[in-house]
Amino acid sequence: MGSRHLLASFGPEKNEGSLDSARNDKMLIESHAHLDYPDFARDLDDVLRRANEAGVTRIITIGTSIESSRRAVDLAEKYSNIYAVIGVHPTYAEQAEEDVMTPLREFAKSRRVVAIGETGLDYHHLPSVEAAKGKKVQVFARALQGETEEEIEANIQDGSYKSRQASLFQQQLDLATELGFNVVIHQRDAWDDTLEIMRPYSGRLHGVFHCFGGTLEQANEVLDLGHLVSFTGIVTFKNGASVREVAAQVPLDKFMVETDCPYLAPAPFRGKRCEPAHTRLVAESIGTARSVSLEEVARATTATAETFFRFNRS
């Protein structure tokens, strides 16, 4: 396909909920995809075609490591409707090179780079949690309010793991501030620590908390700090009612839409590979929850994404 621009080629309106129905007033921006992953290696051109047909005319592909960020930039420089975000995901903290800022700063010279990330904190798989899952914790020791050697070691590892994540997070926030970029934030089971690290940067950069699944109170906390949230296919899930409710109440100009593909495929595609075309289904679900049209959601989220990612750099 090369680097030629994928022009929207919208035909007559078909079924409202179908992926092949789109019009010029329903153009969407997929704000968080992982197109460099192996899932898309064989059929990326078809994936981009389907996205275009669904009205998803621009796609942000996200780096999760130095190599992933390099691939993201390469894709963005090849396809004019793809843009890159570069960074090191917190779960890669232990494997990351000692110096990640030098290569990230070099990648950032590309005018196809539009933000730093995804960066943040993730405590979901702490060593202590994994130790407990592995049944290394002795029940009788807990009953006696003591600690096993495995617990002590896991807690020490927890501290090191969190420290490494925090250091990488702060370095990437510093880089974003230095280069004038906004940041894509990953947060899992680390809410208070994430906000604590970000507070000193208030007014110096803006972030989007991607794949937001928290409460309305947490969303408002993010918005009050000058940041945004972004919603995925979770809003279409039967068990996603709480997230839909938040998406229905957050101000229309304070969120974006995404898929986090290849993960979190929305209904009716659950269990299958997710792809950028599904952004339309996310937007439709939010529109239904808010009792507004797809056009209104598309118009607002596109304007928000354009401001946040500053495409005019490209």
The reported pLDDT for the residue numbered 96 is 82
Cis bond upstream, residue 118 (ω within 30): yes
**What is the C-alpha separation between 137 and 168, in angstroms, rounded?**
30
pLDDT in tens, 56-93: 999 999 999 999 999 999 999 999 999 999 999 999 88
Position 135 in a domain: yes
The reported pLDDT for the residue numbered 126 is 83
**What is the C-alpha separation between 201 and 296, in angstroms, rounded?**
32
Radius of gyration of the chain (CA): 20
Total number of domains in the chain:
1
Position 110 in a domain: yes
Beta-carbon contacts of 54 under 8 Å, excluding residues fewer than 6 positions away, are 19, 20, 22, 28, 276, 277, 278, 279, 280
Position 38 in a domain: yes
The reported pLDDT for the residue numbered 209 is 98
Amino acid letter at 43? D
Domain that includes residue 158, residue range: 24-313
Position 54 in a domain: yes
pLDDT in tens, 148-190: 666 676 677 788 889 999 999 999 999 999 999 999 999 999 9
DSSP 3-state of 139: helix
Q: What are the residue ranges of helices labelled H in 180-250?
A: 191-198, 216-224, 241-249
> The whole model's pTM is what?
0.86
Position 2 in a domain: no
**What is the C-alpha separation between 8 and 21, in angstroms, rounded?**
12
Position 16 in a domain: no
**What is the C-alpha separation between 116 and 101, in angstroms, rounded?**
11
Question: What CATH code is carried by the domain that includes residue 61?
Answer: 3.20.20.140
**What is the C-alpha separation between 177 and 28, in angstroms, rounded?**
28
Low-confidence ranges of the chain (pLDDT < 50): 1-18, 20-23, 136-141, 143-144, 314
Position 249 in a domain: yes
Structure tokens at 67: 């190599």
**What is the C-alpha separation between 4 and 310, in angstroms, rounded?**
21
111, 148 Cβ separation under 8 angstroms: no
Return the DSSP state at 61: E
172, 192 Cβ separation under 8 angstroms: no
